[in-house]
Amino acid sequence: MKGTTPTTLLVRNIDQLLTLDPAAGEGRLGVVEGGAVLFEGDRVRWVGPTGQAPTADRVVDGTGCIGLPGLVDCHTHSLFAGSRADEFRRRLDGASYTEILESGGGILSTVRATRAASDAELVESLTARLGHFLAHGVTTVEVKTGYALERDAELRCLRLLTDGDWPVRVRRTWLGAHTVPADHRSDRPAWLAHLLGSIPAVAQLADMVDVYCDAGAFTLDEARALLEAGIAAGLHGRIHAEQVTHTGAAALAGELGCTSADHLERIDPAGIAAMATGGTVGVLLPGAMVYLGDPAPPVAALRSAGVALAVATDFNPGSSPVRDLWSCATLACLQLGLTPEEAVAGITRVAAQALALPRRGWLGVGSGGDLALVPPPPGEPCHWPVLVQYLGGHRASVVVRSGRVVLE
C-alpha cells in the first residue's frame, strides 16, 4: 500500500524571519526579510524569500509579524501543586533560601502538596501552565520531576508527563535528587541507594537525569554517582551547578559530557574550562537571580571560553515563579550582558542543544517544524530587537508545531 503524501503548509509574507541558520540569511540569526517557510509533514522542506516560495496545500499569511523557531524553555519545574506565597514574604523579611529549606519549607513544602494532589489536579494545572507558554510562542518545554521525592511518586509524575496530551512538546527530566526528604536526612547513604535503585525504572520514562548539587541538597560525590548511573542507563545528564555555593558541579558536568550545567552564579575557571571541553551548555536563569538576589554568572569568561549559553525561566513556585521566557531573554541582556542575538539564540537553538534536540530551535531543510509568528509591540516596526528590548508580554499570533498550526 502506498503511503499518504504529507500535507504541506506554507507560512509566507513574514516581515522578518529569524531562521537561526546563518547559512539561510543574514548574521548569526539568519534573518530573511519577507521570508517564508514550507512545512511538509512534521519537518521544514523549504525556507527563503516569499517571492520564491513553492505552492502548498494550506497558506498562512505572516504579514506584520516577526517569525522565529518555536521557543524552547530548557529548564522548568512546572509540575507541582501548592503555593509558596508565604515564603515570598519570609524572603522579603530577610530569610535566605537555604534557611527556608532547612526549616521544612521551600522544596519540601511543595513536595507535601504535590504528593497529596490527585493525578487530575496535577494534569489540570500543568496543562494550564503549558498553555501559557504556548501563547507566548514556546513549543518545547523541559519539565522536571523532583516535587515527589519517593520512587513510586516520582514515577507517577513521569507517567503523567509521558501520557499527557500537552499543548507543547515536553522533554521529561527526572530530578529525584532535588533534595533529601526530612525523614531521610539521618541516613543519606540509604537515600542515595534508594535513588540509584530507581534509575532502571526511571530510564523507561524520562529523557534526562538532573541533580541539584549545592548546599542543603546533594554533594559532589552523590551527584557523580547519580549522573553516572543515569547516563549509563541511556539518559542525558544535567546538573544544577554553582548556584548557592561553589561545589565543582560544573567541572563534573563537563567531565561527564552532560548536556547542560544550569545556574553557574559561582562557577570557577576550572568549571568553565571543563564545560568548554565537554561541550556542556551553560543555562542562565535570570528569574532565579532576581528572586534570590544572586550574583551574575561570569558570562564574559564563559563566552570567551566558547561555552554555548542558553536562557530559561527556571519556572517554579518558590525561587523563580516566572513564566515569561521573553522576559528572561531581556533580563539576560540587562543583568548578564548577553547581546540581543545571544539572547534570541539562547531561547531557541542553544536551548534545544541543552535538551539534546538538534532538530529544534532553528528553521532549515530537515529541521523540526516549529514556528512562532510574533507581532511587535504596538507602534513598533517589525524589527526583531524590539522583542528583546520590551520586557516580556509578547504573545504569538500563530504557532506551528511539528508542521501543524496549533495556535491561530
* Cell 514574604, located at residue: 89
For the cut 70, the answer to whether the pLDDT of residue 289 exceeds it is yes
According to DSSP, residue 371 is labeled E
Would you tell me the crossing angle of helices 188-202 and 151-163 to the nearest 10 degrees? 30
Per DSSP, what are the bridge partners of residue 239?
A: 211, 261
pLDDT at residue number 2:
52
How distant is the alpha carbon of residue 372 from its chain centre? 17
Res. 408 pLDDT band, cuts 50 70 90: very high
When mean pLDDT is compared across 33-42, 65-74, 86-95, 327-336, the lowest value belongs to: 86-95
Per DSSP, what are the bridge partners of residue 309?
A: 282
Res. 314 pLDDT band, cuts 50 70 90: very high
What is the CATH topology of the domain spanning 72-354?
A: TIM Barrel (3.20.20)
pLDDT tens digits, 338-378? 999 999 999 999 999 999 999 999 999 999 999 999 999 99
Q: Which residues contact 45 (CB under 8 A, 6 or more apart)?
A: 8, 38, 39, 54, 365
Longest dimension (CA), the chain: 69
pLDDT tens digits, 99-109? 877 777 788 88
How distant is the alpha carbon of residue 279 from its chain centre? 18
27 three-class SS: coil
H runs (alpha helix) in 117-210 = 119-135, 151-163, 188-202
Domain 8-70+362-407 CATH assignment equals 3.50.50.60: no
Closest CA to 62 of 397, 401, 407, 404: 397
Neighbour count for residue 164 (Cβ, 10 Å): 17
Closest CA to 171 of 253, 79, 40: 79
Question: What ranges do the domains of the chain cover?
Answer: 8-70+362-407, 72-354
Q: What is the mean pLDDT of the chain?
A: 95
203 three-class SS: coil
